[in-house]
Structure 1
């Protein structure tokens, strides 16, 4: 990721630190503070950073098909995370923004962001293996 404001990186780090500690209330609190300070666009940028954490640095972006076995049977939040991370991997910010807006309209954004944070932590733990 390039040209990401330090404040956004700090917020993403706070989300990951809280998620690593298993503190979902702190994850929600960090996202709430971001929304209070920077609006929904700020929360989107933090979520985009979390997707970047999951995809990693060494992966060329664009034209990816990601395999998520059983995704059609998964809950809303898991499907949303899979699609959001796929949008990031494909450098498709328009789809990422549309997914974010849909989650807001469906009243599902808080659950989606918690699942995204948990998925990012699972990815970090898996890589540390």
Structure 2
């Protein structure tokens, strides 16, 4: 009888271990998927591009952006693309992340001149935007 009780405890113990080990855990792919669904709002401004914080030289004619310092972090978003919408006109396009913008508020982007001109005249200087990672 004692042997049956011991055997039952051993089986129950291993069953509990298997339940814990088979429990789903967040993986990097799920985290990326959630990040892609997150949209950010802020201001869009423009700057003269050149050597970006991502280590690549860019041109003013490229559709590229500088990400706010908080989101830029250690450069994990370098070369990722995003979809940007001018919230006042509804115009939409995509751009690549190539630089860090230390002066930008959370969710704001500094854009290459050609990218900014897709939305508005450079003379306007600032637009309201919404964007998300692709």
Report the TM-score when normalising by structure 1. Answer: 0.25
Identify the structure with bigger relative contact order (alpha carbons < 8 Å, sequence gap 6+): 2
Report the TM-score when normalising by structure 2. Answer: 0.25
Structure that is richer in strand per residue: 2
The structure whose Rg is larger is 2
Structure that is richer in helix per residue: 1
